[in-house]
Chains A and B, each alone.
Chain A
Amino acid sequence: QLQLQESGPGPVKSSETLSLTCIVSGSSLNVGNYYWGWIRQTPGKGLEWIGTIYYTGSTNYNPSLKRRVSISLDPSKNQFSLRLSSVTATDTAVYYCASLGVATITIDNWGPGTLVTVSS
């Protein structure tokens, strides 16, 4: 069964770069039936899709974050990562990693989520 787990260094200071990793088990990243992605959730803006990456390395980012976001794959560790630069307090959120079905763009599997707090 496909499982995902987010990990990260904890609180981030304003203007720095947020980095999170998603460890995938139960499936190889090198399969063509999933996109691998990040979604975040705040009380104010609700659920926001950040971006996705395909096993080929092709990425798709939310235009609202595109200037600051980067998603990458590490097939050797079966994990993928998120980097969000120049963070502010508005980037404080619960960040989820997820798998998205290629055929339907449904978010089939979610990690439990990790709260990232941006402090000044």
Chain B
Amino acid sequence: DIQMTQSPSSLSASVGDRVTITCRASQSISGNLNWYQQKPGKAPQLVIYDVSSLHSGVPSRFSGSGSGTGFTLTIRTLQPEDFATYYCQQSYNSPWTFGQGTRVEVK
């Protein structure tokens, strides 16, 4: 199985901050990397697919980059509704696997 490792596990930030989350794969996954946002008590929701494509309805302050084994999710100007947990997921090889999550908390 491809192991996905996110860093940091959690971070504290303020509204207006720029936030960057990193995801590393245990082997190359080409451009098959997706990001999800999860709020407490809710199902995850797709944010970015194929490294950098914004899912429908997702604000443009979210962006993704990377290739091979290293990827980043950036939130350009953090908004109150962005405090949540973010997960990366590889769709290169079955079984599809997820990172352990990065919790973005209020500073």
| Interface segment out of the listed A14-22, A23-31, A81-89, A109-117 | A109-117
Whether B49 and A104, one on each chain, are in contact in the complex, defined by CB atoms closer than 8 angstroms, is: yes
A91 to B74, CA, bound (A): 34
A120 within 8 A of B: no
Indicate whether A107 sits within 8 Å of B44 (C-beta atoms), given known contacts A46-B100, A46-B101, A47-B87. yes
Indicate whether A62 sits within 8 Å of B34 (C-beta atoms), given known contacts A107-B89, A110-B43. no
The residue in chain B whose Cβ has the minimal distance to the Cβ of A63 is: B95
Indicate whether A60 sits within 8 Å of B94 (C-beta atoms), given known contacts A105-B32, A110-B43. yes
Measured between beta carbons, the chain B residues less than 8 angstroms from A112 are 42-43
Whether A107 and B36, one on each chain, are in contact in the complex, defined by CB atoms closer than 8 angstroms, is: yes
B82 within 8 A of A: no
Measured between beta carbons, the chain B residues less than 8 angstroms from A76 are none
Interface of B, secondary structure class, is loop
Whether A106 and B43, one on each chain, are in contact in the complex, defined by CB atoms closer than 8 angstroms, is: no
Is the interface on chain B under 10, 10 to 19, 20 to 34, or 35 or more residues? 20 to 34
Whether B43 and A49, one on each chain, are in contact in the complex, defined by CB atoms closer than 8 angstroms, is: no
A113 to B46, CA, bound (A): 15
Whether A49 and B97, one on each chain, are in contact in the complex, defined by CB atoms closer than 8 angstroms, is: yes
A74 within 8 A of B: no
Measured between beta carbons, the chain B residues less than 8 angstroms from A63 are 1, 95
Give chain A nearest CB distance to B17 CB in angstroms.
25
Interface residues of B in 41-95 (CB under 8 A from A): 42-46, 49-50, 55, 87, 89, 91, 94-95
Which 8 pairs from chain A and chain B are nearest by CB?
Answer: A105-B91, A110-B43, A47-B98, A106-B49, A62-B95, A49-B96, A106-B34, A46-B100
Kindly list 9 other residue pairs between chains A and B, CB separation below 8 angstroms, not including A46-B99, A104-B34, A106-B49: A47-B101, A101-B49, A104-B49, A104-B91, A105-B96, A106-B34, A107-B36, A110-B44, A110-B45
